[in-house]
Structure 1
Amino acid sequence: MKQSAAQQGGGIAHGKPQLSFWQIWNMCFGFLGIQFGFALQNANVSRIFQTLGADMDTLPGLWIAAPLTGLIVQPIVGYLSDRTWTGLGRRRPYFMVGAVLASIALLLFPNVSALWMAAGLLWMLDASINISMEPFRAFVGDQLPVRQRASGYAMQSFFIGVGAVVASLLPWLLAKYGVSNTAGPGEVPDTVRYAFYAGGAVLLLAIAWTVLRTREYPPEKLHAWDEAPPLARRPRDAARVRRNALAWLLAGSIGVIAVALGGWDRQLYIFAGLLTAYGVALLLRSLRQGEGAFSHIMDDLYDMPPTMRQLAVVQFFSWFALFAMWIYTTGAVTSVHYGSADTTTAAYNEGANWVGVLFAAYNGFAALAAVLIPWMVKRWGLRISHLINATLGGLGLLSFAVIRDPQWLLLSMVGVGFAWASILSLPYALLSDSVPAQKMGVYMGIFNFFIVIPQLVAASLLGVLLKVFFGSQPIYALVIGGISLLVAGLCVLRVREPAPHAAVAAANP
């Protein structure tokens, strides 16, 4: 990305310069590769797990790698990238490291022969994707003024949609061209294998394009151009923090004991562990003196802007629903719409490939929605637009329970696609004017807490809910997800709108 004279030195007094369409295109292009890998993971990992012998009840626990790595990796990478400045910039070194590691994981994944190996590679793949993904969110805040950030996030949503369409369709397309779509017990079909190989190459090349075609502003310029109000530090009360820590620890410990003694589902350990881990983190911060990454992240979590607190609830119900969809759509469609849960049958694998088509469809509709969302924001504002899109997504997931012809599920994915595009852009637009430049990375990482915590809760509770109340039928996980999206849409009405100038600018990028 070539910079103007104002960008290189003379623009500080006049605020952060606007970027051209192609400059925004180049800085977001790497998201095509990230989503290519992410979509292959979402559409095929449950299939690989089932092929290697996993049953429906254990799938959420195996998927725990995805949210847990994000919970750990993103705030650390955000904190470090805020403090990084090299010849390659502050965010771009993390783009490349994550891309190389993710590409290696994608090449290895379809060749595993044991379930534990697949679970381990999912940890590696998701951690690597998170290393690249987190700085991309902060990159938009670094490079663009507030009035253009909605355009930047919408461009990311566009590339997310395009990348996911192609990646989700790959196994189905390869089968159409004669590549084998079935394999022996415990073996991954060639359609999936070759799709993962292609994904590794696309991910690396797309991120390399952004790294080579963009430049970054040094920290002193970002600080001078900062448009966010200063954060107010909340009063510290160490004694109160310790009391809260002990309460969380007690709740988590009671949960662990109850699961152990009551013979409850082992996946509930995840939920009890979340409570315990938060208690431990609070206790350590109350006892710890001095500086460091852990102390800074915990303090920034405590001081996060009110808008972020309001959005946390919206994100919780949104991502709970998405996680339910990613885990259970394959099982729901193959069992309900194709009538087979046997991974060696042609019917199961035809249904699994159709899930890839459905995932491609919702991402394609998301790319279309990314073009329409700025018009929606201009007409109805950020909150009402997000309410409309989340409602469409909720109705789309609920419709899986009543539609029987799998071809008509494409209509369901229209709503899911609009919700997906909105979830990837409008919460960030709502948040954009409240995060200071010098903490953009760490706060984007902290914001990710409210993406991954609901996924961890879903991983611990969904399997139990299905087993206890719904006879382990995966279609009901999609019903639960649909209701969750409807709740998320209603919760966005509580969120503070950005300042009028920012909201108007977001609608007129």
Structure 2
Amino acid sequence: MKKRTLSFWEIWNMSFGFLGIQFGFALQGGFMSRIFQTLGADKDAIPLLWIAAPLTGLLVQPIIGYLSDRTWSTRWGRRRPYFLIGAVLSSFALILVPHSPTLWIAAGFLWILDASINVSMEPFRALVADKLPDSQRSYGFVVQTLIIGIGTWVASNLPWMVSKLGVSDAAPMGVVPMSVKVAFGIGAVVFLLSILYTVFTTTEYPPEDMEAFEKEKAQKNRFVSDILNNISNMPSTMKKLGLIQFFSWFAFFTMWSLANPALTEHVFHTPAPIESAYDISIPEQAAAFDAENTAFQKASNLVGSSMGVYGLSSMAFALVLAFYTSKKRINRKYVHMFSLILGGIGFLTMYYVPSPSFLKYSFILVGIAWGSILSMPYAMLSSSVDPNKMGVIMGIFNMFIVIPQIIAAIGGINFISNLLGEEAINAMLVAGLSLIIAGLCNLFITDKNAISYQPELEQ
């Protein structure tokens, strides 16, 4: 099927739901460790508490990709039903997460939240490949990244914003502050509304051969064999991209899980107070705990706000790429390589920032890497796989995202960072080195079509 070239606003509409998805991911990535610490988690235990997220992605995304490839509704299309289901579940989870009374309940809600977000996310990746001709793939993923950048910046600043509006950062021992609860509630509303916008403003192409599609769908009990067959026969470009993804996502999982303890301690000098060190039945100790906890919560707001800068810089980076790729081809390989290296340098500089105000410059560099991670690998992949299997391929490709996160969660981060010392900030050094390695791995990509698809530009 020859796909028509879409306008900017058509691509914007089909990608707008990612604003909500990124609200969910940014709130999860920026503040879940803060919630864990507030509920009494030790720094070294935090990565393991995060294991729900990558495990969920490993299980959910290939299944959802497979099912969406085999779904068609004349009213709802192929991918949109999954957007909507995921949005409803994610919105409920976002509301409930900060109200967790105990650590294990918070970890359970993280599991539910990440599963729900994953139901929505991968079909969005497949939708870009479904709707756009090859000549617009880079452009489409870059526009998607632009929207993700907006969502990351706004959501990462939400607790700070609502705090500035007068919502309290103070809370009793073991209770998440109201500023975080309000921020997650806002995120839930934005998530649902943005997905609904895409569902009702975007149409989808039907299967090219409906008879063959129905015959394929009617075949039962092939899920496991189909998944295994696609894994064993994945293109070599996909394997090479998988290596890049491994080191890239190891780095970002390290940031999401440990940036808050690392930066509140190393940059703001206000680590989370240890509950066992205080006897709150003694008024003086209760007051001391409240003072330290409030300082930690306010520093966490600022860490989240600083992290939001990486969303802003990824948005600016995506905007530049969007203008360029709308008319000309790019060398995806070298764009991705240099972007990842710059992000790695950004992580390394966090060890040396002279004051909290300089932290935003580190995250500007991290944002360039993030903008590239969200667009270039998918553009390269979508130009080298069977378009009829785009959903399941995108789901399988997600394995290269979640496996490094699982390795990091079960001890990989703690082991490597402890080789450098016991300080929490060493985790950011590990993230930086991992991202630089990911950048250099781009040198293995040799498929010319993946590196730089030659668009048939309109005259």
TM-score by length of 1: 0.81
In the other structure, the counterpart of 1:348 is 296
In the alignment, is residue 163 of structure 1 matched against residue 151 of structure 2? yes
Give the Å deviation of 1:501. 10
In the other structure, the counterpart of 2:35 is 48
In the alignment, is residue 29 of structure 1 matched against residue 28 of structure 2? no
Matched letter for residue 115 of structure 1: L
- Residues 99, 115 of structure 1: alpha-carbon distance in 2 compared, 3 angstrom cutoff: same
In the other structure, the counterpart of 1:475 is 425
In the alignment, is residue 435 of structure 1 matched against residue 385 of structure 2? yes
In the alignment, is residue 419 of structure 1 matched against residue 369 of structure 2? yes
Q: Distance in 2 between matches of 1:505 and 1:123?
A: 41
In the alignment, is residue 339 of structure 1 matched against residue 275 of structure 2? no
- Residues 314, 85 of structure 1: alpha-carbon distance in 2 compared, 3 angstrom cutoff: same
In the other structure, the counterpart of 2:60 is 73
In the alignment, is residue 492 of structure 1 matched against residue 442 of structure 2? yes
In the other structure, the counterpart of 1:446 is 396
Give the Å deviation of 1:500. 8.4
Q: Distance in 1 between matches of 2:264 and 2:451?
A: 49
8 Å Cα contact 2:340/2:439 also seen in 1: yes
8 Å Cα contact 1:74/1:445 also seen in 2: yes
Of residues 314, 317, 327, the one that matches 1:369 is: 317
8 Å Cα contact 1:60/1:462 also seen in 2: no
In the other structure, the counterpart of 1:189 is 177
Give the Å deviation of 1:437. 1.8
CA deviation map 1:443-479 (0-9, x unaligned): 0000100011111111123453267434532200100
Q: Distance in 2 between matches of 1:352 and 1:506?
A: 48
Q: Secondary structure at the match of 2:455?
A: helix
In the other structure, the counterpart of 2:279 is none
Q: Distance in 2 between matches of 1:361 and 1:178?
A: 23
8 Å Cα contact 1:374/1:507 also seen in 2: no
Give the Å deviation of 1:435. 1.5
In the other structure, the counterpart of 1:258 is none
8 Å Cα contact 2:83/2:121 also seen in 1: yes
In the other structure, the counterpart of 1:383 is 333
In the other structure, the counterpart of 1:292 is 222
Matched letter for residue 339 of structure 1: H
In the other structure, the counterpart of 1:132 is 120
Q: Secondary structure at the match of 1:499?
A: helix
In the other structure, the counterpart of 2:232 is 302
8 Å Cα contact 2:250/2:404 also seen in 1: yes
In the other structure, the counterpart of 1:218 is 206
Q: Distance in 2 between matches of 1:152 and 1:222?
A: 26
8 Å Cα contact 1:222/1:438 also seen in 2: no
Q: Distance in 1 between matches of 2:65 and 2:456?
A: 24
TM-score by length of 2: 0.90
In the alignment, is residue 107 of structure 1 matched against residue 95 of structure 2? yes
Matched letter for residue 387 of structure 2: A
CA deviation map 1:245-304 (0-9, x unaligned): xxxxxxxxxxxxxxxxxxxxxxxxxxxxxxxxxxxxxxxxxxxxx952111101101011
- Residues 393, 336 of structure 1: alpha-carbon distance in 2 compared, 3 angstrom cutoff: same
Counting matched residue pairs gives 431
- Residues 380, 215 of structure 1: alpha-carbon distance in 2 compared, 3 angstrom cutoff: closer
8 Å Cα contact 2:383/2:453 also seen in 1: no
Q: Distance in 2 between matches of 1:361 and 1:471?
A: 28
Give the Å deviation of 1:373. 2.9
Flag structure 2 segments of 5+ consecutive residues without an equivalent.
213-219, 274-289
Give the Å deviation of 1:347. 2.6
Give the Å deviation of 1:508. 9.8
Q: Distance in 2 between matches of 1:184 and 1:168?
A: 23
CA deviation map 1:50-71 (0-9, x unaligned): 1111101110110001111001
Q: Distance in 2 between matches of 1:474 and 1:209?
A: 41
Q: Secondary structure at the match of 2:208?
A: helix
In the other structure, the counterpart of 2:216 is none
Give the Å deviation of 1:39. 0.3
Matched letter for residue 211 of structure 1: V
In the other structure, the counterpart of 2:287 is none
In the other structure, the counterpart of 2:46 is 59
- Residues 443, 354 of structure 1: alpha-carbon distance in 2 compared, 3 angstrom cutoff: same
In the other structure, the counterpart of 2:276 is none
Q: Distance in 2 between matches of 1:461 and 1:45?
A: 18
Q: Distance in 2 between matches of 1:312 and 1:74?
A: 16
State the identity as a percent: 49
Q: Distance in 2 between matches of 1:222 and 1:492?
A: 39
Task: Give me the CA root mean square deviation.
Answer: 2.2
CA deviation map 1:84-137 (0-9, x unaligned): 112311100000000000000011111110111101000000000000001000
Matched letter for residue 72 of structure 1: L
CA deviation map 1:215-258 (0-9, x unaligned): 1111126999xxxxxxxxxxxxxxxxxxxxxxxxxxxxxxxxxx
- Residues 507, 109 of structure 1: alpha-carbon distance in 2 compared, 3 angstrom cutoff: farther
8 Å Cα contact 1:181/1:189 also seen in 2: yes
CA deviation map 1:27-78 (0-9, x unaligned): 0000000001110011110000011111011101100011110010000000
Matched letter for residue 358 of structure 1: S
In the other structure, the counterpart of 1:255 is none
Matched letter for residue 196 of structure 1: F
- Residues 56, 211 of structure 1: alpha-carbon distance in 2 compared, 3 angstrom cutoff: same
Of residues 76, 90, 103, the one that matches 1:88 is: 76
CA deviation map 1:388-423 (0-9, x unaligned): 111110000000111130110111111101000000
In the other structure, the counterpart of 1:151 is 139
Give the Å deviation of 1:499. 2.2
Q: Distance in 2 between matches of 1:172 and 1:500?
A: 41
Query: What does residue range 169-208 of structure 1 map to in structure 2 within 5 Å?
Result: 169-208=157-196
In the other structure, the counterpart of 1:322 is 252
Q: Distance in 2 between matches of 1:375 and 1:209?
A: 24
> In terms of mean alpha carbon deviation, does 111-120 or 213-222 score higher?
213-222
Give the Å deviation of 1:328. 1.1
